[in-house]
Amino acid sequence: MSQQPYLFSPMAQPVRDDTVVSVVAMREGLMTEKRGAIAQGMRGGSGGMSVCVLASGSGGNATVVRYRGQAILVDAGLGPVSITKRLHQAGLMLSDIRGICVTHLDTDHFRPTWPNTLVGYGIPIYLHRWHVDDLMKNKHASRLVRANLIRPFDQQPFEPIAGMSVRCVRLRHDDKGTTGFSLDTPVGRIGYATDLGCVPREMIELFAGVDLLAIESNYDPVLQRSCGRPIFLQRRIMGGAGHLSNDEAFAAVQQIIEHSPDGPPNHVVLLHRSSQANSAALVKQVFAQDPRLQGKVVLTQQRRRTRWLQVTRRASATMGQMSLFERRA
């Protein structure tokens, strides 16, 4: 959008690098893939919005959001080969991805192995301007620059795909912080926040009224103190600039619901569960305290993607769900 000082035009044509494409394609078994092809899984829901968390946890995070026959990733914390495999499982191809919105540049959110593949496929990376310097430390970052694929944003909304407006909120996490996203379309809205040490009022306000809320529920404090991690690491995680505990995530969800005139989101997707300092049972125990969340909570996993979650305005929410948690959680 031309009025934004940090935003390159989303419509700019990327530079094609056939060498990279063919190498990547051979590695990934995608030699028959055609750029711009819409995978089988995209055809059915071409008018709607849906979300699939491909992976979540300290071993790598990636979520795909599709809207009207196009798709973006939020984070790419697995390498290109792994994400391509999981996209295939979800009915998509890498060539269907129109951009990657990156929360921050820790390697579990953006693998440094991505730049050549991004250039090959012409996929832009959207990241907060505060993270651009860190991205430029990547030894292949200059190729992204030459291909005009780095799209820094600030506080102004941007559109990674037509009809999807993305707004951001800055969140505390280590030195450079992280970014929470609101992804808004005419059919529904998503709030996405992970790796945040605390929950600012701005995030509650931004996420009020979302139809799908994805938020980390990282650790249980008792397990965190007893799982054998060094004290400095425990302090980093629990000190207000690391991660959210289950109770902190639950409190944030409750605050967002209280600020949402239409009630709770259709889906509350819990991200980045620690394998050492948390468990699915503990997360369920905490979120079961609020009966308004019955049938809405989805626990994500490191090794397995979620099902596709439809994002619709609350007026068309499905009624009659009997279980608090989904079967695959």
C-beta of 88 vs 229, nearer to Zn ion: 229
3-class DSSP string for the chain: CCCCCCCCCCCCCCCCCHHHHHHHHHHHCCCCCCCCCCCHHHHCCCCCEEEEEEECCCCCCEEEEEECCEEEEEEECCCHHHHHHHHHHCCCCHHHEEEEECCCCCCCCECCCCHHHHHHHCCCEEEEHHHHHHHCCCCCHHHHHHCCCEEEECCCCEEEECCEEEEEEEECCCCCCEEEEEEEECCEEEEEECCCCCCCHHHHHHHCCCCEEEEECCECHHHHHHCCCCHHHHHHHHCCCCCCEHHHHHHHHHHHHHCCCCCCCCEEEEECCCCCCCCHHHHHHHHCCCHHHCCCEEECCCCCCCCCEEECCHHHCCCCCCCCECCCC
C-beta of 70 vs 218, nearer to Zn ion: 218
Under rule CB under 5 A, residue 75 binds Zn ion: no
Size of the site for Zn ion (CB under 5 A): 2
C-beta of 279 vs 302, nearer to Zn ion: 302
Q: Which of 195, 211, 220, 248 binds Zn ion (CB under 5 A)?
A: 195
C-beta of 218 vs 260, nearer to Zn ion: 218
- Residues 145-184 vs Zn ion: string with x where CB under 5 A? ----------------------------------------
C-beta of 33 vs 108, nearer to Zn ion: 108
- Residues 269-308 vs Zn ion: string with x where CB under 5 A? ----------------------------------------
Q: Which of 17, 28, 96, 108 binds Zn ion (CB under 5 A)?
A: 108
Where along the sequence are the contacts to Zn ion (CB under 5 A)?
A: 108, 195
